[in-house]
Structure 1
Amino acid sequence: MERMVNSAILTVDDDPAVSRAVARDIRRRFGDRYRVVRADSGESALEALRELKLRGEQVAVLLADYRMPHMNGIQFLEQAMDLFPRARRVLLTAYADTSAAIDAINIVDLDHYLLKPWDPPEEKLYPVLDSLLEAWLATPEAASTETRVIGHRWSEPSFKVRDFLARNLVPYRWHLCDDPEGRRLMTAAGATEDDVPVVITPEGKTLVKPSTAELAGSVGLSTTPASDFYDLVVVGAGPAGLGAAVYGASEGLRTVLIEQRATGGQAGQSSRIENYLGFPDGVSGAQLTDRARRQALKFGAELLSTREVSGLEAAGPTRVLHFTDGSKIAAHTVVLATGVSYRLLDAPGLRELTGRGVFYGSAATEAPSCTGSDVYIVGGANSAGQAALYFSRYAARVHMLIRAPDLTKSMSSYLIEQIEGNEKIVVHPCTEVIAAEGDEHLERLTLRDMPTGATRTVETSWMFIFIGAEPRTDWLDGAVSRDERGYIVTGPSLITDGTRPHGWTLPRDPYHLESSMPGVFAAGDVRADSVKRVASAVGEGAMAVSVIHRYLEAQ
C-alpha cells in the first residue's frame, strides 16, 4: 500500500519490554505506511507530539498504557487531544483496569481499549488498528508543508510578517492565536499570546517575534552575499532592478540583486496590470515578479533579501556599497533601482492605526478579511484604481477618496471605464481624510468636503492609502546628484551650460542613465524624469546593462 507521508502512530508505555513489543508488532504490520514513534512516559510522548505538530506532521493513532507513573494513559490522551484532536485513541490496559478504560470512553472519547496480552496480534491488535486507521483516513488532518503564522487579527507586527511572506512569494498559513488550531500550535511551541507573532517553519523551527532578517533566513531567502566583489550590483528588486538583473546575469556579468523588503516593489503589489505588453488578459504584480525573479536566478544572479544599503562611495575604479549592519559589498558597476515609496498621509490617528486597519499599498493579504465590509481607498492614480477593482471582489462597497474633481488627470482610461462600470465602487471627488479613530483597530474616519469644508464621520475598519510617491534616496546624499525632490539625475541632464557635473573625472560626458558617479547608473522610477510605468522601468533596467558593457569596455 502507499505510504502515508508525514503520518505517525505513537505508542507510550513505561515498561520497556511492553513498549518494545507493541512498537515491534505495529511496525511489522504498518511500518511500510506509517512512522511508528515510541515513548516511555506521558511527558516524553507529549514532547514528541509537540515536535510532530510543529513539523506539520499527522498522527493517526495514539496507543497509551493506562498504568504509568506521574501521568497515566487517560491523562496523557486528554492532553494529546489538544494537539491532535482527530487522532484515534487506544488505551492499553490489564483486565483489572477495564472499568477505568470504560470510564475513559467518556473522558477522552476513547475509540478502543486493548487488554494485555494482545497476542496473537493478527487476531487482537491488527483488526482494531485496521479499523481505526480506515476511519482516520476518511477524515485526516491536513499535513502542513507551509510556513505557519500565528498572531492577533489587529496586530501591526503580525501584519508585517504576513505581508513580508506574501510579497516574497513564500507560501504560509495564517492562524489566529485564539482559534482552535492556533491554540494547538501555540501549545506545541510553548508560546503564549504575549509572544505573537509566532512563525513555525515547515521543518518545525519556531520563531517568536522574528525580525525580517531572521524570518528571511528561516524561510529560505538568501541574506548573505556569496562573494565580496561583483561585476554588477543592482539595488532594488522592482521591475527596473529585476530587468537589470536578468539582462546582466544572462550576458555573463557576475550580478547580485539587493532588496530591502520584497521583490516586485510597488508593481509587485498590483492586483492586476492590464497594459503590460504581451499580457492581453492582464497579469498580477505577484505573477510578473515571480517570473522575473525566477528568470534572474536561472541566469545565475544572486538575490539578497532584507538588506538595507546605507551608503555608496567610489574607491578608484571600484564602487563600494555599505549596509546598515556595517558590512559592505563592492563591484565594477552599480544600478540604482530603488523605486519610490508611498507618501504618508498626515492626519491624527493614522500613525497609531497603521497595520491595524490603515495600510499603505494594496495589502492584498487583507482582502479576504474585508468580505462584506466597506473599504476606503485614498488616491486616484492607477495603483489606487487597480486596488479598488480588486477589493470590490470582496467588499460590500469600495469608496475612492480623491482630492481632484475626477479621475481623468491621474488614471488610465481603461481603469476609469472599469470603475465606472462597477456598481460596488463609489468615487468621492474633492474629499480628504482629516482623522482616524479606533481602539484596537480602525473604527471610523472623519472626511472633509474640500469645497465646502463640511465634515462627516464614516464607520469602517479598512483604509488603503495610495497618495503619490517619493524616492528614498537620502542615503545617497553627497554621492550622486539628485534633483530638488530627491530623484537621481542622469545622462545629459547632468550637463549644465556645457559643464559636466562636479567631481566628474572622465574625459567623456555621462552616458545615458549614468549618474554623476561614473559606473553608477539609475533606472526606473527613482530616476529623474522617468516614465512611471512598469514597461519603461523594465526597459531602463535592460538598457542600463547595455550601457554598462560600454563602460566596462572603456575601463
Structure 2
Amino acid sequence: MSDRPVILLVVGEHADVVEQEFRARYDRDYRIEVAPGFDAGLDRARDLVRDGAQIAMVAAEHVLDEGTSIEFLHHVPAIVATARRVALVWFDDFADAIDDLRAAALRRDMDTFVVIPRGPRDEEFHTALIELLSEWGWSVGRPLVTINDLVAEPGDRAAAAVRDLLERLGFPYRSLAPGDDAAQEIVEAAGVGAELPLVRTHTGRVLSAATPAAVTEAIYGGFDSIPDGVIADVAIVGGGPAGLAAAVYAASEGLATVMLERDAIGGQAGSSSMIRNYLGFPRGISGMRLAQRSRIQAGRFGAQFFTGRPAIRIEPGPANEPEHQHVHVAGAQMCARTVVIATGVKYRRLGVPAVDDLVGAGVYYGAATSMARELQDRDVYVIGGGNSAGQAAIHLAKFAGAVTILVRRESLAETMSAYLVREIEATPNIQVWTRTVVTDGGGEGRLQWLRLENLDTGEPFKTLADGLFCLLGAEPDCSWLPDGVALDERGFVLTGRDVPREFWVDGQPPASLETTVPGIFAVGDVRAGSMKRVASASGEGASVLPLVHAHLAQIRAREFAQ
C-alpha cells in the first residue's frame, strides 16, 4: 500500500469532473481514492482507517444518492477526526444550497465548501484545498522534508519544549532517538561529552543540551551579532501579533526596525491551532501560519529579528545621546530612538505544587499543539474559559479519546466567543465541567491523575488524566520596565488618557499608545484596556506607527535647532 496520505472523493453525478480536477493537481503527493455515493464513501473511509492509511481530506459532492454532503461529512469525524472535510457544490446547485452550507460550516459539520470548477485553472478552488491540506500537514501529518533534527530520549522534558518551539515557528523537523541510524551522524558531530537533547539546525550546527532559547537564537541569529554602533529607529520588544504588525509597518515605511523576542516569534497566538475570526481568512488560519507569514513579511521589508533572551531593562541614553533608549538583554543591548513594548501576557500558574512539578510530563502551560499527537485516545483536561482554551480543546479532541474543559464560571459563554462555544457543543468527545478547579495531581514520572473540586458543593473527586493544558488567563510581566513607565493595579502598562494626570504635560496626556516616558509606546495585550484579541493587537501594532513618526520628527526638529 502507498504511504501517501489519502484524499477520499465521495462523488455523485459529476464524478468525472471531480476526479479529474483532483488527480491533475494532487495525484503525485496524495493517493486519490474515489467512492461512488453516500454509503460507499463511509465504508471506504472505514476500510482506509482499518488498513492504517492517513486520510488527509474527505471531499464530498453536495448531492449524493442517499443524502447531502452536509449529512455525509457530519459522520466523518466518528471515523477519522483529523481529516479535513470539504463539500463540493455544482454551480447550478449553489444558490439553493448556500444557506444550508453556511449553517453546516457554522456548526463545524465541515471545514469549508467550494464550487466545483467549470473550467481550467480555477485557482480559488485549489487555494481553499491547499490551505486545508497545509494545515493538516502541519498539525497531523509528519514532514517528509525537514530542516532541523532533534535527538532525545523518549519522554525528555527539555526535548518536548524544543519540539513545541519548532512547531510554533513552523520549522519542519525530525525527532530521533539516540539509537536511530539517522541520529548517529548528529551524535558524532556533537562530540564527546555532548548532552541530550541534541539539535542540528538548518545551518548544520549541532547544539548540545539544547533549550528553546538556544535553538531560536541559533535559527535567527543571537544578540551577540548586533553590530556595534547601530541605532534603530524603532526597537520592538515582543514578537506577538502586535509586535509583528508594528514591525511590518515600520519596516515598510523605511524605518530601521529591530525586534527583540525572548521565545518563539508569534507569541501566545502562535500556538493557537486555528483562529477562525481573523479578518480576511474565511477558512481560518493557525496561529503558526499567521506568525510565520507576518515574520516573513516584516523580514522582506528589512526588519531584523533577535531572539532567545528576554529584555531585562530599558535605560535612557547617556548625556550625549539624550534622545535614545537602550534596551538591555543579558550580555547585549540595542540602542533605539523609540521603543514599542509588545510583550503580551503570560498564562497564570495553577499554584498546585504537585501538578506544577509535572510541567513537560503531561502538564503544559499554553496550547502545546505539538503534544496533541502524543495523546491519541487519551483522557485530556483543559483549564480555562477563554478563546485560547477553546481552540486548544477543539484541536486536542481530534486526537484524544476525551477532552474535558474545566472552568470556574457558570458557563463558557461568559468569556468565550460564540463560534467556539458552538463548535465545542458540536464536538461529541468534549465535555465542559463548570465551577470546577484542580486541587491536586500526580503520577509516576508523568501525569496520571487529578483531584478536582466542585466550587458549589465543595465535593472533591479523583479522575484519571493523561494530559493537562493550563490556559488560565493572562498576567503581564512588566517588572523589567523603568520606574517611569506607569502601570495599573494589575501590572498592565498605562497609555494615553489612562495615564495619571500628574504625568500629563501642560495639561495634555501622552499620545494614545504612548507611555509616561516619551518615546516608549505600548501595544497589544500588555497595554491596560486592550481587547486581548489577535485582531485588536495587530491593529494597535499598525496604529502606533504614526505616533512613532511624530516622535522621530520631534527628535529631528530638536537636533536641527541645535
TM value normalised by structure 1:
0.70
Matches of 1:199 and 1:382, distance apart in 2:
33
* Residues 431-462 of structure 1: per-residue CA shift (max 9 Å, x gap): 11111101221111111111112222212221
Alignment of 1:494-505 (within 5 A): 494-496=499-501, 499-501=502-504
CA shift, 1:218, in A, is 3.5
Q: Residue in 2 aligned with 1:320?
A: 326
Q: Residue in 2 aligned with 1:96?
A: none
The total of aligned residue pairs comes to 407
CA shift, 1:156, in A, is 1.8
Letter in 2 for 1:162: R
Contact 1:230–1:330 (8 Å) recurs in 2: yes
Partner of 2:385, secondary structure, is coil
Q: Residue in 2 aligned with 1:520?
A: 520
CA shift, 1:530, in A, is 0.9
Given the alignment of the two structures, is residue 437 of structure 1 paired with residue 438 of structure 2, yes or no? no
Q: Residue in 2 aligned with 1:246?
A: 248
Alignment of 1:285-300 (within 5 A): 285-300=287-302
CA shift, 1:163, in A, is 1.9
Letter in 1 for 2:261: E
Partner of 1:296, secondary structure, is helix
Matches of 1:457 and 1:191, distance apart in 2:
47
**CA separation of 1:481 and 1:191: change in aligned 2, threshold 3 A:** same
Q: Identify which range, 214-223 or 355-364, moves more after superposition.
A: 214-223
Q: Residue in 2 aligned with 1:378?
A: 383
**CA separation of 1:183 and 1:215: change in aligned 2, threshold 3 A:** closer
CA shift, 1:211, in A, is 4.1
CA shift, 1:314, in A, is 2.1
Q: Identify which range, 231-240 or 487-496, moves more after superposition.
A: 487-496
Q: Residue in 1 aligned with 2:355?
A: 350
Q: Residue in 2 aligned with 1:408?
A: 413
**CA separation of 1:192 and 1:308: change in aligned 2, threshold 3 A:** same
Q: What percentage of aligned pairs have identical amino acids?
A: 39
Letter in 2 for 1:517: V
CA shift, 1:215, in A, is 2.3
**CA separation of 1:260 and 1:446: change in aligned 2, threshold 3 A:** same
CA shift, 1:171, in A, is 2.0
CA shift, 1:221, in A, is 4.1
Q: Residue in 1 aligned with 2:196?
A: 196
Matches of 2:552 and 2:190, distance apart in 1:
56
CA shift, 1:323, in A, is 1.3
Contact 2:314–2:482 (8 Å) recurs in 1: no
Matches of 1:449 and 1:247, distance apart in 2:
48
CA shift, 1:205, in A, is 3.6
Letter in 2 for 1:174: S
Contact 1:434–1:446 (8 Å) recurs in 2: yes
Partner of 1:395, secondary structure, is coil
Contact 1:170–1:219 (8 Å) recurs in 2: no
Q: Which has the larger radius of gyration?
A: 1
Letter in 1 for 2:283: D
Contact 2:220–2:305 (8 Å) recurs in 1: no
Q: Residue in 1 aligned with 2:370?
A: 365
**CA separation of 1:426 and 1:191: change in aligned 2, threshold 3 A:** farther
CA shift, 1:188, in A, is 4.2
Aligned with 2:401 (options 381, 396, 402): 396
CA shift, 1:191, in A, is 7.4
* Residues 299-356 of structure 1: per-residue CA shift (max 9 Å, x gap): 111111113111112232111111122x221111110000000001011312210011
CA shift, 1:263, in A, is 0.9
Partner of 2:158, secondary structure, is helix
* Residues 467-523 of structure 1: per-residue CA shift (max 9 Å, x gap): 101001000151311111110000111142xx435xx6x885311100000011000
Partner of 1:545, secondary structure, is helix
Matches of 2:303 and 2:148, distance apart in 1:
26
Unpaired runs of at least 5, structure 2: 1-142, 556-562
**CA separation of 1:217 and 1:489: change in aligned 2, threshold 3 A:** closer
Q: Residue in 2 aligned with 1:173?
A: 174
Contact 1:186–1:192 (8 Å) recurs in 2: no
* Residues 124-182 of structure 1: per-residue CA shift (max 9 Å, x gap): xxxxxxxxxxxxxxxxxx9975211121332221112212222233221112346x447
Contact 1:348–1:434 (8 Å) recurs in 2: no
Matches of 2:275 and 2:288, distance apart in 1:
10
Partner of 1:333, secondary structure, is strand
Q: Residue in 1 aligned with 2:269?
A: 267
Letter in 2 for 1:170: F
Contact 1:398–1:426 (8 Å) recurs in 2: yes
Matches of 1:399 and 1:184, distance apart in 2:
41
* Residues 4-23 of structure 1: per-residue CA shift (max 9 Å, x gap): xxxxxxxxxxxxxxxxxxxx
Contact 1:446–1:457 (8 Å) recurs in 2: yes
Contact 1:312–1:479 (8 Å) recurs in 2: no
Q: Identify which range, 241-250 or 307-316, moves more after superposition.
A: 307-316
Q: Residue in 1 aligned with 2:553?
A: 553
Letter in 1 for 2:417: S
Partner of 1:475, secondary structure, is coil
Q: Residue in 2 aligned with 1:454?
A: 459
Unpaired runs of at least 5, structure 1: 1-141
Matches of 1:166 and 1:202, distance apart in 2:
15
Partner of 2:290, secondary structure, is helix
After superposition, the CA RMSD in angstroms is 2.3
CA shift, 1:550, in A, is 1.4
Given the alignment of the two structures, is residue 470 of structure 1 paired with residue 475 of structure 2, yes or no? yes
Partner of 1:509, secondary structure, is coil
**CA separation of 1:143 and 1:468: change in aligned 2, threshold 3 A:** closer
CA shift, 1:361, in A, is 0.6
Alignment of 1:83-102 (within 5 A): none
Q: Residue in 2 aligned with 1:158?
A: 159
**CA separation of 1:276 and 1:324: change in aligned 2, threshold 3 A:** same
Q: Residue in 1 aligned with 2:510?
A: 510
**CA separation of 1:353 and 1:431: change in aligned 2, threshold 3 A:** same
Q: Residue in 2 aligned with 1:216?
A: 216
Matches of 1:225 and 1:169, distance apart in 2:
25
